[in-house]
Amino acid sequence: MDETQPLLADVHLVDTERCDEFFHKDIVDFDVDGDAENPMEWPTAYKWSIVSLLSFMAFTTTFTCISVVPIANQIVYDLDDGSVSKSSSVLLVTIWELGEAAGPLLIAPLSEMFGRYPVMNGATILFILATALASLSESTALFIFARALTGLSVTSNVLGPAIVGDIFAAEHRGSAISVIALAPMIGGSLGPALGGTIAESVGWRWVLRLSVVLALTCEIIFFTFFRETYKVAILRRRAARLRTETGNPKLRTIFDTNDKQSSLHKIWECAVRPAMVFSGSSVLQAMSLHGALMFSYYYIFSTTLPDILQQLYGLSASATGLAFLSFSVGSALSVVVMNIFLDKVYVKLREKNNGVGTPEFRLPIAVTGTFSLPLCIIAYGWVSQLRLPLPVLMFVVGLFGATLMLVYLPLNAYVVDAFGIYAASGMTAIIVTRCLMSTLLPLASDPLAKLWHQRFTPTIRLYGLDDDNALLPVLTYKPS
């Protein structure tokens, strides 16, 4: 693969150079003078209603995932008859990502074979059933299995950006992706807040029952109002309809010029495409690993912040959940910035490039996040270790949320632009590496913390009160 060219550049030529070779009366395509079935030509209001629906799905997914974070220890305590294992409580949260790593390997190719609509519906139904199973679990093992199955059926992260690519031109995709990304931030803030409050009042099982209700509502709306957006699936159905109406068996789409391939072979091609593209591009490999490492710190943060707030600052489960609002506020502000500047930067750079846009024009903003996110991670650790006032910690958590979005959103937009009609497969490489690292790296945080405390014994001397009645800590390390 030529690393100087956009990823899958040869695929994009299907619509241009190969069109001259295969175009004749038997090729079914959209009408160039206007076509109501062409997703790119749908009314703007309907396109944004799809974005709203995708946002609702993303909210529900994130709410279901994050709502158990502040009560993970309580769930393990109840299911294990009073025994709490830190590794079990961490795995209870992060196993979701392991399932989410496997899901796109099926979801993306199936959506490119059969379309977005049937895959989204099937996966959402599985999501509802798995969440219901988690709410009924009587053991930690069954709960963890149900959480993995729920992560496996998540579609919003891989198909959301792909659907945006189906219906929006390149210069408008950044705004739509930013709006979809805002919903998980809201879900990520309300999830812990409501999860902690509900668990304290009526029990943690009602947190998952609420997730079932949200997912079921989402599926009803999606099943009723969503239309297929994937152009390949739309054209294939049109060709099938025209073959029946006209009696001409030769009618086909430009994507079906190889009629000798069986359906099973086509599914296999779609299934292995993400792996082939990932292995063939060092650029995609580097960006996937970079995005995975950056995002894995979110789960380290999610699994360590409840312990910090409850053990060091003495907050309750409900107050701990509310503390996650600062992360969501920072993320939301970052998404607003992305919504304003992501497309503007793209258009500006395209104008300087003689009107030719490239996927790389999505990445300048990501450079800012790449340098600022490690600083926020360092600040999060030291503020907690020094036990600085709670508002300082919440401010750092908000900055962490803002800088994380500066890294991840431009990366998603880049992949959507680079992969075109195969955006779902392109997102798979990003998601699988992210999910694997987000599952495994947080499991190492507790052993590393214990190793740190074995090597260094912190001594904290607290002196009198300052003018604001706050204690002044002085921290020194003595090798053990």
- CA dihedral over 287, 288, 294, 298, signed as positive or negative: positive
Averaged pLDDT, 327-353 = 83
The region of weakest confidence among 95-104, 237-246, 407-416 is 95-104
Given a contact cutoff of 8 angstroms between Cβ atoms, the answer to whether 350 and 361 are in contact is yes
Strongest mean pLDDT among 105-109, 216-220, 353-357: 216-220
At 396, is the pLDDT very low, low, confident or very high (cuts 50, 70, 90)?
A: very high
Structure tokens at 175: 């705004």
Q: Domains (ranges, CATH) in the chain?
A: 17-479 (1.20.1250.20)
Q: Could you report the per-residue pLDDT of 256-289, keeping only the tens digit for each? A: 765 556 666 766 776 777 777 777 777 778 888 8
Q: Chain-wide mean pLDDT for the chain?
A: 78
What CA–CA distance (Å, rounded) separates 472 from 461?
Answer: 8
What CA–CA distance (Å, rounded) separates 335 from 378?
Answer: 23
What CA–CA distance (Å, rounded) separates 384 from 424?
Answer: 39
State whether residue 154 is helix, strand or coil. Answer: coil
Centre a 10 Å sphere on the Cβ of residue 291 and count the other Cβ atoms it contains.
24
Averaged pLDDT, 74-92 = 76
| pLDDT over threshold 50, residue 90 | yes
Supply the pLDDT for residue 249: 80
> DSSP letters along 366-393, please?
HHHHHHHHHHHHHHHHHHHHHT--HHHH
At 216, is the pLDDT very low, low, confident or very high (cuts 50, 70, 90)?
A: very high
Write down the pTM of the prediction.
0.68
| pLDDT over threshold 80, residue 314 | yes
- The phi and psi torsions of 426 (rounded to 5 degrees) equal -65, -40
Among the listed residues 121, 119, 124, the one whose alpha carbon sits nearest the alpha carbon of residue 106: 119
What CA–CA distance (Å, rounded) separates 175 from 302?
Answer: 27
At 213, is the pLDDT very low, low, confident or very high (cuts 50, 70, 90)?
A: very high
Q: Could you report the per-residue pLDDT of 7-46, keeping only the tens digit for each? A: 443 433 344 444 444 446 678 778 778 888 888 889 989 9
The region of weakest confidence among 177-191, 425-439, 445-459 is 445-459
CA–centroid distance for 196 within its chain: 23
Supply the pLDDT for residue 133: 93
Averaged pLDDT, 78-82 = 77
At residue 132, what is the residue type? A
